[in-house]
Structure 1
Amino acid sequence: MRKYNDKILIADGHARQALALARAFKELGCSVTAVCESGLDVCSKSRYVDRVVKDKSIKQRPDLRVECIIREVSKGGYTLVISFSDVTVEQISLNKERIEKYCKTAVVNKDLFYLAYDKLNTMRICMDNDIPCPNTFLDCQTVDDVLSKDLKYPIIIKPRSGYGAIGFHKIDNIEDLKTYLQDHSDDIKHLVIQEYIPQTDLQYECSIFVDEENEVKSAMVFEKNRWFPVHGGSSTLNTSVKDETIVENCSKLMKLINWRGCCDIDLIRDPRDGVAKIMEINPRISGSGKIVLLSGVNLALQMLQMARGEEVTVFHDYKEGVRLRCLYTDFLWFLKSKDRFKAKPSWFSMKNTKEQVFSWKDPLPYFAFSMGSLLKLKRELKKREG
């Protein structure tokens, strides 16, 4: 493989997927700098990161992370800025022109970002173009609009933007709905109201890369076998699979909105009809991005080629059966789930399995990640319950 000599800035050195991308860029011959909040950030301990820039602004003032990025890239020499968190990706999209005076960013412009980040917009596009998705009520502006609909319970209500299961509510009857609406009457236009899909079947993600010519250069699917919190949260075990229907539907959606670069689409298979239905677009690289690389799709190469104005390599084939596990949260799943001894794959199976953060060649980030995860677990659980 060709060796590059480009300089890459990772804007979210705390993100777990940052490690896999840092390694992938290093294997391409690049030098890697990471912006980190603390010594517990995974990139601050990685042998694949050449230099660390400390910046603590992300917690109190996310907008200041962009100022840190601009200060760094204005020194010269950088080819590309990449980011992984919703907050930082949003801020980069809002300041894309400022940053791209100095180097390219692997982030779309603000209009495209908000189009993809809005779950209601995603549902509207899917429903208008016969792409499978949950039946969604698109025109609810007031409480009366909601109550006038022919609702078949249960339904779900969730924010138009956000991640994980934060703000997700299952409504089982009209009384529950009225109670919820009393407390959220001013928020209706900011909510997604749609049918509830029984969560007894598999969930999926499709990682897609679209080039500047609106051509899909890779589309890789993996199933989510377990997640934590148990009733809705981030995946703890994923397995790469082949599903041409998912690839076709997700590719159609991203081409319709003229996407550019990396993105990730969440889907759930409806046990009532067996159809995998699109739930939302994540306008960034998934937290499980390592499984994409392990399966043979080199996102780092694709991002670098697009930033350099080169033809982007096609990766339409990839390995099936590759597993990616976050041992820390999968252990929490084991403690909380009633299915701990009935899980498929077995919780005790390590076949074709790699840990999301740990690597024998780069072990220190795992210990930093574990300590940081323990410190923030209680806060994250409280957010998801709110």
Structure 2
Amino acid sequence: MAYAVTRSLGRRYIRVYTADFLPGSMSSASRYSSGSFLYPSPFSQQSGFVETLIEKLKLHCCNVLIPVGEETYLIAKHKQRFLQHTGMAIPDYDQILAAHNKDQWGALAAQLNIRCPAVFAIDDIRQGRVADLPFPLLIKPKQGGGGWGIVQVDSPRELEALLGRQEHWGRPWDRFFVQEKIQGQTHCVAMLFRQGEYRARVGYRQLRSYPIKCGQATLRISVEHRGAEESLQRLLEALNWHGVCQADFIIENRSGAAYLIDVNPRFWGSLAQGIACGVDFPYMVYKIAARGDVPPQDSFRTGVITRWIGGDMAAFVPSLKEAGSKIAFLREYFWPHRRASHYDDLSISDPLPFMYWMADALYRSVKKRGGKSRSHESLEGIWE
């Protein structure tokens, strides 16, 4: 995400400084980064993060701050303080919480006649207060991203065995809820709003993902689905949204109806898809933050295919195992009939970021084999 922002603005000759709380980030290696620095973790050292970032904003005379991951939420929590030093286009903290908590936005969606899967509280199921559960079900974290903690449950016996454990993924059960699984294909919609008013959108269908059943799209194609787009627009208008937001829908196989299953109140993993479709979200966010507004953009290019090579590489082995026809999968993976026209992480004119990613992926692979792997704190967020 940060690399997509860096590349978008840098190509427009806008000076960009990149930052992270971990060394060796992709964006710091980009030719479009004028400089980079480290800050304390926004998850475990929140006060240090805020103070350091404000100090760096003043030092580099930055007129716009564009957060991309869950650090967006902490910055929104201290929004008024940051706005004294720089421009931003992000929602208020209470808006973020309303959209981020997966077990809460369903009530607002229901009021707006937006289709959503049924959700159930873990305690209600354990106490026998729920009858006739619609299997298959998904156990999902109330907060967090990247596909961590999501498990499909196909039968009452399997659910009973799972809920009989003291923890799930090493975390207490109050971090999770249960959601009905809608059978269909994943369709994503991303939008930009300014103070409750629509400015831009893009829609795309996931062709492959990592993790393979519940993760971020690694291969996608831009398509329209008016039902999904209208649903997200109604939700964001009701929240008086300011900034970007992305949502995942399942297009039900039988009816073709769009069911809202997830909302990301920040930049999203497939950000490069929108840019490739002619909707340059990073630049539009920059202009709103620096100049106040941008003209609305009513359309995007459809049929555009983009690929996240790093994610596709990570998903290769599990995808091959799941494939019905191994030969057909290998043919489509290596010699696709429709090739991607844009890549999230690889650029011939800016190759170092991808090399940094490869080195980091190798390091994480070694740690995982050593038994030290754990979902990253930037994916686990606990915000209240």
Question: Considering the TM-score relative to the shorter chain, is it more than 0.5?
Answer: yes
1:361 to 339, 349, 352: 349
Render the CA deviation track for 1:38-66: whole Å, top value 9, x for unaligned: 55211111111111123364585355333
Instruction: Determine the structure 1 residue equivalent to 2:182.
Output: 197
Unmatched runs of 5 consecutive residues or more in structure 1: 1-16
1:303 to 285, 308, 313: 285
State the number of aligned residues: 364
State the alpha-carbon separation in 1 of the partners of residues 147 and 89 from structure 2: 26
2:206 to 224, 227, 243: 224
Report matched runs for 1:46-195 at 5 Å.
46-55=30-39, 57=41, 61=45, 64-75=48-59, 77-86=61-70, 88-137=71-120, 142-143=124-125, 147-183=129-165, 190-195=175-180
Unmatched runs of 5 consecutive residues or more in structure 2: none
Shift of 1:154: 2.1
Q: Any conservation in 2 of the 1:45–1:364 contact (CA below 8 Å)? A: yes
Secondary structure, aligned partner of 2:250: strand
Render the CA deviation track for 1:148-190: whole Å, top value 9, x for unaligned: 3331222222121111321212222333333333335996654
Secondary structure, aligned partner of 1:80: coil
Instruction: Determine the structure 2 residue equivalent to 1:278.
Output: 260
Secondary structure, aligned partner of 1:368: helix
2:27 paired with 1:43: yes
Give the counterpart letter for 2:31 in structure 1.
Answer: R
Give the counterpart letter for 2:4 in structure 1.
Answer: A
Instruction: Determine the structure 2 residue equivalent to 1:21.
Output: 5
Q: Any conservation in 2 of the 1:225–1:345 contact (CA below 8 Å)? A: no
Render the CA deviation track for 1:176-228: whole Å, top value 9, x for unaligned: 33333333599665433221223xx421211100112x111111001111012
State the TM-score, normalized to the length of structure 2. Answer: 0.85
Higher relative contact order (CA 8 A, sep 6+): 2
Q: Any conservation in 2 of the 1:295–1:318 contact (CA below 8 Å)? A: yes
State the alpha-carbon separation in 2 of the partners of residues 80 and 175 from structure 1: 53
Render the CA deviation track for 1:337-356: whole Å, top value 9, x for unaligned: 23254359922226243221
Instruction: Determine the structure 2 residue equivalent to 1:34.
Output: 18
Q: How well do the aligned residues superpose, as a CA RMSD in angstroms?
A: 2.8
Render the CA deviation track for 1:103-146: whole Å, top value 9, x for unaligned: 12333221111111101122222223221221223x77545555
Secondary structure, aligned partner of 1:123: helix
Render the CA deviation track for 1:347-366: whole Å, top value 9, x for unaligned: 22262432211111111111
Sequence identity percentage: 22
